[in-house]
Amino acid sequence: MASTRKVAVVEGGEEMAVAYWKANIRLIGILLGIWFFVSFIAGYLMAGIFNNISLGQVPLSFWIVQQGAIMTFVVLIFVYAVVMDRYDQRFNVHE
């Protein structure tokens, strides 16, 4: 069954909606890039460098993979929420 919902166009027209979407996609790309760097580049590809540094009895690369990637992901979720709230205000699509 086809949806008959009408999409509300933000105040300012289609250009404003396109700008909002581009800002959203750009933010997602930046945050995914940060997440990729922390979880894969720093955790796996640079493991040889970080294995020389230890926290307690465990190499730093272990901490980056096991804890750092998860904590970074949680922080990125909050960053996304805050920045999107600001975008909503700027593009006048807030609730």
Would you say residue 44 lies in a domain?
A: yes
Rounded mean pLDDT of 65-82? 92
Greater model confidence, 82 or 39: 82
Task: Flag whether pLDDT at 10 surpasses 50.
Answer: no
Helix (H) / strand (E) element for 68: namely none
Would you say residue 3 lies in a domain?
A: no
Indicate the average pLDDT of the chain.
Answer: 85
Q: Whole domain around residue 80: which residue ranges?
A: 14-90
Would you say residue 40 lies in a domain?
A: yes
pTM above 0.95, yes or no: no
The pLDDT tens digits for 42-53 are 878 888 888 888
Would you say residue 28 lies in a domain?
A: yes
Q: Which residues, other chains included, contact 88 with Cβ-Cβ below 8 Å and sequence gap of 6+? A: 94, 95
Count the domains in the chain. 1
Would you say residue 8 lies in a domain?
A: no
Would you say residue 67 lies in a domain?
A: yes
Would you say residue 50 lies in a domain?
A: yes
